[in-house]
Structure 1
Amino acid sequence: MRNVDAAGLGIGDDHPTRIMGVLNVSSESPYDPSVFADPGEAAAYVDEELIDEGADIVDVGLESANKRFEVLSAEEELERLDTAVQTVESTSGDAVFSIETRYHEVAEAALDRGFDMVNDICGFADPEMPAVCEEYDVAVAKMASPPDIERPGAVEETPWAERKSAEWTESADYVDQVYEALRQNGLTDKTIVDPAFGGWSEAQTLEDDRETLRRLREFRALGRPTLISINRKNFLRSVADRSTEEALPVSLAATAMAVDRGAHVVRTHDVAETVDAAKIGDAFRRRLVADAEVGVEELDVTDPGELRRHAAAAGVEIDPEQRVRRALRVTGLDEAERERLEAAAAGTDATVAGADGALVIGTPEEITDLAESVEKPALTDALSRAATRSR
Structure 2
Amino acid sequence: MRGMPAPFRIMGVLNVTPDSFSDGGQYLDAQAALAHALELERDGAAILDVGGESTRPGAEPVAVEEELRRVVPVIEALSAGGSRAQISIDTIKLPVARAAVDAGATYVNDVTAFRHDPELAGLVADRDLDCCLMHMLGEPRTMQQSPHYDDVVSDVKAFLEERLAFAVAAGIPEERIQLDPGIGFGKTADHNLELLRRLDELAAIGRPLLIGVSRKSFLGRITGREVGDRLAATLAANVLAFTKGATIFRVHDVAPLRDALTVAAATVRAP
The alignment's TM-score, normalised by the length of structure 2, stands at 0.85
**What pairs up with 1:19-38 in 2 under 5 angstroms?**
19-32=10-23, 35-38=26-29
Residues of 1 paired with 2:208 and 2:237: CA distance? Answer: 18
Residues of 2 paired with 1:35 and 1:122: CA distance? Answer: 25
Alignment CA distance shift 1:19-1:58 (3 Å): same
Contact 2:79 2:103 in 1 (8 A): no
Residues of 2 paired with 1:179 and 1:259: CA distance? Answer: 18
User: Counterpart of 1:259 in 2: which secondary structure?
Assistant: helix
Alignment CA distance shift 1:45-1:15 (3 Å): closer
**What pairs up with 1:302-313 in 2 under 5 angstroms?**
none
Displacement of 1:100 in angstroms is: 0.2
Alignment CA distance shift 1:264-1:117 (3 Å): same
Residues of 2 paired with 1:266 and 1:51: CA distance? Answer: 14
User: Counterpart of 1:193 in 2: which secondary structure?
Assistant: strand
Displacement of 1:132 in angstroms is: 1.1
The residue that corresponds to 1:143 in the other structure is 134
Residues of 1 paired with 2:201 and 2:48: CA distance? Answer: 27
The residue that corresponds to 1:133 in the other structure is 124
Alignment CA distance shift 1:134-1:93 (3 Å): same
The residue that corresponds to 2:33 in the other structure is 42
User: Counterpart of 1:263 in 2: which secondary structure?
Assistant: coil
Q: Do structure 1's residue 184 and structure 2's residue 162 form an aligned pair? A: yes
Alignment CA distance shift 1:179-1:151 (3 Å): farther
The residue that corresponds to 2:240 in the other structure is 257
Larger Cα Rg: Structure 1 or Structure 2? 1
The residue that corresponds to 2:264 in the other structure is 281
Alignment CA distance shift 1:111-1:86 (3 Å): closer
User: Counterpart of 1:32 in 2: which secondary structure?
Assistant: coil
Q: Do structure 1's residue 222 and structure 2's residue 205 form an aligned pair? A: yes
Alignment CA distance shift 1:34-1:270 (3 Å): farther
The residue that corresponds to 1:268 in the other structure is 251
**What pairs up with 1:301-380 in 2 under 5 angstroms?**
none
Superposition RMSD on alpha carbons, in Å? Answer: 2.7
Alignment CA distance shift 1:53-1:139 (3 Å): same
* Runs (5+) with no aligned partner, structure 1: 1-13, 161-168, 288-299, 301-391
Residues of 2 paired with 1:123 and 1:145: CA distance? Answer: 9
The residue that corresponds to 1:193 in the other structure is 179
The residue that corresponds to 1:239 in the other structure is 222
Displacement of 1:91 in angstroms is: 3.2
Moved more, 68-77 or 109-118: 68-77
Displacement of 1:254 in angstroms is: 1.6
The alignment's TM-score, normalised by the length of structure 1, stands at 0.60
Alignment CA distance shift 1:98-1:241 (3 Å): same
Displacement of 1:105 in angstroms is: 2.2
Contact 1:22 1:34 in 2 (8 A): no
The residue that corresponds to 1:120 in the other structure is 110
Displacement of 1:43 in angstroms is: 1.2
Moved more, 234-243 or 21-30: 234-243
Contact 1:145 1:153 in 2 (8 A): no
Moved more, 98-107 or 28-37: 28-37
State the identity as a percent.
Answer: 35
Residues of 1 paired with 2:98 and 2:24: CA distance? Answer: 28
Q: Which amino acid aligns with 2:132?
A: A
Contact 1:43 1:90 in 2 (8 A): no
Alignment CA distance shift 1:151-1:182 (3 Å): farther
Say which structure, 1 or 2, has more relative contact order (CA 8 Å, 6+ apart). Answer: 2
How many aligned residue pairs are there?
258
